[in-house]
Amino acid sequence: MNTEAIKIKDKKPGQRACDEKDAKGKMCVGHLKRWAAPTAEAIKAAGPGAELYRCERCHAIYRPVPEDDSSAGLRYQKQPVNVLGDFSR
Protein backbone atom coordinates (compact mmCIF):
# COMPACT_ATOMS: atom_id res chain seq x y z
CA MET A 1 0.00 0.00 0.00
CA ASN A 2 1.15 3.48 -0.75
CA THR A 3 0.89 5.34 2.51
CA GLU A 4 2.17 8.63 1.24
CA ALA A 5 -0.36 11.21 2.25
CA ILE A 6 -1.89 13.54 -0.24
CA LYS A 7 -0.36 16.94 -0.05
CA ILE A 8 -2.83 19.59 0.92
CA LYS A 9 -1.67 23.15 0.99
CA ASP A 10 -3.09 25.90 3.15
CA LYS A 11 -5.11 28.45 1.31
CA LYS A 12 -4.71 31.78 3.04
CA PRO A 13 -7.73 34.01 3.44
CA GLY A 14 -8.24 35.86 0.20
CA GLN A 15 -5.82 33.72 -1.71
CA ARG A 16 -7.08 32.95 -5.18
CA ALA A 17 -3.92 32.02 -7.00
CA CYS A 18 -1.77 28.98 -6.62
CA ASP A 19 1.60 29.62 -5.03
CA GLU A 20 3.01 26.22 -5.81
CA LYS A 21 6.44 26.50 -7.34
CA ASP A 22 7.66 24.37 -10.14
CA ALA A 23 11.09 22.82 -10.43
CA LYS A 24 12.53 26.11 -11.62
CA GLY A 25 11.07 28.01 -8.68
CA LYS A 26 8.48 29.74 -10.79
CA MET A 27 5.10 30.25 -9.20
CA CYS A 28 2.19 28.52 -10.80
CA VAL A 29 -0.38 31.30 -10.23
CA GLY A 30 -3.14 29.04 -11.45
CA HIS A 31 -6.66 29.88 -10.40
CA LEU A 32 -7.88 28.08 -7.32
CA LYS A 33 -11.28 26.62 -7.90
CA ARG A 34 -13.64 24.99 -5.50
CA TRP A 35 -13.12 21.30 -5.95
CA ALA A 36 -16.62 19.97 -6.31
CA ALA A 37 -15.81 16.29 -6.43
CA PRO A 38 -12.68 15.52 -4.45
CA THR A 39 -11.26 12.06 -4.60
CA ALA A 40 -11.72 9.68 -1.72
CA GLU A 41 -8.06 10.07 -0.82
CA ALA A 42 -8.37 13.83 -0.67
CA ILE A 43 -11.44 13.62 1.52
CA LYS A 44 -9.64 11.23 3.78
CA ALA A 45 -6.61 13.50 4.02
CA ALA A 46 -8.61 16.66 4.60
CA GLY A 47 -11.29 15.18 6.79
CA PRO A 48 -14.93 14.71 5.98
CA GLY A 49 -16.83 17.87 5.13
CA ALA A 50 -13.69 19.84 4.40
CA GLU A 51 -13.92 22.46 1.73
CA LEU A 52 -11.29 21.81 -0.85
CA TYR A 53 -9.91 23.88 -3.65
CA ARG A 54 -7.77 22.81 -6.51
CA CYS A 55 -5.46 24.67 -8.78
CA GLU A 56 -6.63 24.69 -12.36
CA ARG A 57 -3.13 24.38 -13.68
CA CYS A 58 -1.06 22.11 -11.48
CA HIS A 59 -3.92 20.50 -9.57
CA ALA A 60 -2.38 21.29 -6.21
CA ILE A 61 -4.97 20.80 -3.52
CA TYR A 62 -5.75 23.56 -1.07
CA ARG A 63 -7.71 23.74 2.11
CA PRO A 64 -8.72 27.13 3.49
CA VAL A 65 -7.11 27.94 6.80
CA PRO A 66 -9.64 28.73 9.47
CA GLU A 67 -9.97 32.42 10.15
CA ASP A 68 -7.66 33.20 12.97
CA ASP A 69 -9.81 34.33 15.85
CA SER A 70 -7.42 33.66 18.65
CA SER A 71 -4.07 35.24 19.41
CA ALA A 72 -3.51 37.46 16.43
CA GLY A 73 -7.18 38.26 16.00
CA LEU A 74 -7.10 41.87 17.12
CA ARG A 75 -4.26 42.87 14.89
CA TYR A 76 -5.44 40.85 11.97
CA GLN A 77 -6.30 42.80 8.89
CA LYS A 78 -7.37 41.51 5.60
CA GLN A 79 -4.67 42.49 3.21
CA PRO A 80 -5.76 43.62 -0.19
CA VAL A 81 -5.19 40.82 -2.60
CA ASN A 82 -1.54 40.54 -3.36
CA VAL A 83 0.19 40.68 -6.68
CA LEU A 84 -0.83 37.16 -7.47
CA GLY A 85 -4.52 37.94 -7.28
CA ASP A 86 -4.21 40.95 -9.51
CA PHE A 87 -2.05 39.08 -11.92
CA SER A 88 -4.52 36.27 -12.40
CA ARG A 89 -7.37 38.57 -13.30
As a whole number of angstroms, the distance between CA 41 and CA 15 comes to 24
Q: Which amino acid is at 36?
A: A
Size of the site for Zn ion (CB under 5 A): 8
Q: Which stretch binds Zn ion (CB under 5 A): 9-17, 25-33, 43-51, 64-72?
A: 25-33
Contact present, 11 and 62 (Cβ < 8 Å): yes
Helix, coil or strand: residue 73 = helix
Tell me, residue by residue from 49 to 78, as one string, x for binding to Zn ion by CB under 5 A and - for no binding.
Answer: ------x-xx-x------------------
As a whole number of angstroms, the distance between CA 67 and CA 45 comes to 20
Q: Which stretch binds Zn ion (CB under 5 A): 17-25, 34-42, 43-51, 71-79?
A: 17-25
- Site residues for Zn ion per CB under 5 A: 18, 20, 28, 30, 55, 57-58, 60
